[in-house]
Amino acid sequence: MRRLVIETATEALSLALFEDGVLLDSYDAVIGRGHAEQLVPRIAELPDGGRADEIHVDLGPGSFTGVRIGIAAARALAIAWGAEVLGFETSSLVAATARALDRDLAGQALLVVMEGGHGEWLATPIAPTATPAATRSLLPAEAIAFDHEVVVGSRATEFVALRGSGRACPLHPSARYADMIDGMLLGTKLAPLYARAPDATPMAKPTLGHEGPSA
Amino acid sequence: MTIILGIESSCDETAVALVTSEREILSHKLATQEDAHRPYGGVVPEIAARAHAEKIAPLVEAALADAGLALAEVDAIAATAGPGLIGGVMVGLVTGKALAHGAGKPLVAVNHLEGHALSARLTDPDLQFPYLLLLVSGGHCQLLAVEGVGRYRRLATTIDDAAGEAFDKTAKLLGLGFPGGPAVEAAAREGDPTAVPLPRPLLGSPEPHFSFAGLKSAVMRAAQSGDYQTNDIAASFQQAVVDCLVDRTDKALKGLDFAPSALVMAGGVAANAIIRTALQRLSADHGLAFVAPPLWLCTDNGAMIAWAGGERFAAGLTDPLDIAARPRWPLDTAADSVRGAGVKA
């Protein structure tokens, strides 16, 4: 059974192809933007074009666009291949990556801190064994109210510097560690997870010239 | 015969269709977002992108099921690659790329405007190149010489707002609801088109360009004055747009450097019956055939993207999987910018 893992919800573009749990190939790059251009070509470069029986994809919260691109690609590939798609949260893969890279983190509580856009960070407290709590999009000054000792993720260094305490493990999630995500954290609901509502204000009345949100 | 799957997601309609090279529409599915955008009086890009992401894969499955086809039986995947709201375009284009890669089919990245430009050829087998196209939608108002697949010469464009944008803003000003085109047209049916004196920007000017910003401002002043009925303002506005479109198209027809096979009107505004009738009359005055797609093919849809993709595919035009979505993508990339025009031209 082959499994393709797609991570595009962050500044990273990360892919992994497993066969019966054994890593066949992977791709990791921190690209910031450009997932829509690079994702499918990078999948095509994997063995057998990345063809898999099961696809795991990051649902977010993270980059709005990145999340949508990953899910769109996963669902379309699933139509073409007759594959099943399962989703995971960004924080789950970040935590799995951190614990894979630093075995000392096993059994420790973590705080995942990722870039959230609009000057905010995405903060997710993760207990040693429990399901991650909800991810919150917070201003840095609000985020540092979390008192976790170990902070992991793309904004870990900035977080620890701002708070003035703790241990930072700066990293981006890598799909090659997706097998370490607890199966209980995989879901079949494939809707993107957004940490913020759309930036839009309903129209109160005819605006007589005022330009509201429009295409 | 080839079968093309077309995906459209450039604004507020998610649409997928399967069309053959023999002009048979095997299936077409559309999920409109009108209800989601109505409270805002216009399309909100982030809401649109979220809805496209939710709807697009189920629509692909539904379109294939309706046609009784497996993806393997499709010859190519066509997807809108722009111009449009970039978040939505990316969702549709990435879906197209993944379908193409997954099924081992060619990808055709379609300019949304080319979809409109060629849509009349889907329903009218006799329509030959070259023809004069009046493309009128929420984002564009242009006259183009359509010389062949991928061969477009822009003859005129708006120097400010698109005609459809003027309809949307007028509907918003008058509190008529969203989408604006059908709302204004419905109100105009109950109004007097001569009741409100409104300007006809650029009427009679030597170059056949368009302008609607001044008309929009005049509508605002008329609404604020309290002197006129809403339906009369709507009808007078619509008549002003008709007069502008007819005058500008007439100017273009008189100055053409080629012999068109027809005058073709396409785009969302082409669904307006009054405008359609007026342009049909103008065509007759010039002894030209008038071609406009059926109403459902004037507004955004997947069939026009599948058809345009099929025309490109037949011409040997396919695209790589790393092609980028484009928020702006003029049909005539060599056209000079127009005096007074902003980025919209």
Does B138 carry a binding-site annotation? yes
Residue B249, φ and ψ in degrees, nearest 5: -70, -40
Domain shared by B138 and B244, yes or no: yes
Domain shared by B158 and B222, yes or no: yes
Which comes out higher in pLDDT, residue B317 or B139? Answer: B317
Beta bridge partners of B291: B264
d(CA B97, CA B99): 6
Note whether B101 contacts A44, CB cutoff 8 Å.
yes
Q: How confident is the model at residue B316 (pLDDT cuts 50, 70, 90)?
A: very high
Q: Is residue B345 part of a domain?
A: no
Domain shared by A80 and A7, yes or no: yes
Note whether B50 contacts A75, CB cutoff 8 Å.
no
Q: Is residue A179 part of a domain?
A: yes
Domain shared by A96 and A80, yes or no: no
Domain shared by B170 and B229, yes or no: yes
A202 contacts on B by Cβ (under 8 Å): 39-40
Domains contained in chain A, number = 2
Which whole number is the average pLDDT over A96-101?
95
Q: Is residue A145 part of a domain?
A: yes
Kindly state the tokens that stand for B314.
Answer: 């037949």
Residue A79 belongs to domain spanning? 2-90+173-185
Domain shared by B159 and B216, yes or no: yes
Q: Is residue B284 part of a domain?
A: no
pLDDT over 90 (residue B14): yes
Domain shared by B151 and B107, yes or no: no
B26-59 per-residue burial string, b: 16 or more CB within 10 A, e: under 16: bbbbbbbbeebbeebbbbbbbbbbbbbbbbbbeb
Chain A positions contacting chain B at CB under 8 Å are 36-41, 43-44, 49, 51, 64-65, 68-69, 71-81, 191-192, 194, 198-203, 205-209, 212-215
What value does the mean pLDDT of chain B take? 94
Domain shared by B97 and B37, yes or no: yes
Q: For residue A199, what is the nearest residue in chain B, using CA coordinates?
A: B46
Cα B143-B146-B324 angle, rounded to 5 deg: 90
Give residue-wise pLDDT tens across range A141-169.
Answer: 999 999 999 999 999 999 999 999 999 99
Domain shared by B103 and B151, yes or no: no
Domains contained in chain B, number = 2
pLDDT over 90 (residue A21): yes
**CATH number of the structural domain spanning residue A39:** 3.30.420.40
Which whole number is the average pLDDT over A64-81?
97
d(CA B332, CA B139): 15
Residue B59 belongs to domain spanning? 3-117+299-314
Domain shared by A81 and A100, yes or no: no
Note whether B98 contacts A203, CB cutoff 8 Å.
no
Domain shared by A65 and A141, yes or no: no
Q: Is residue B332 part of a domain?
A: no
Domain shared by A133 and A71, yes or no: no
Residue corresponding to tokens 């690079």? A38
Listed residue (A202, A9, A213, A207) closest to A92, CA to CA: A9
Give residue-wise pLDDT tens across range B109-147.
Answer: 999 999 999 999 999 999 999 999 999 998 899 999 999
B262 Cβ partners below 8 Å, 6+ apart? B127, B131, B132, B283, B288, B289, B290, B291
Listed residue (A32, A37, A202, A30) closest to A117, CA to CA: A32
Which whole number is the average pLDDT over B210-228?
95
B87 contacts on A by Cβ (under 8 Å): 64-65, 68
**CATH number of the structural domain spanning residue A148:** 3.30.420
Does B269 carry a binding-site annotation? no
Note whether B220 contacts A43, CB cutoff 8 Å.
no
SS3 B111: strand
Domain shared by A86 and A180, yes or no: yes
Domain shared by A6 and A80, yes or no: yes
Domain shared by A158 and A121, yes or no: yes
**CATH number of the structural domain spanning residue B136:** 3.30.420.40
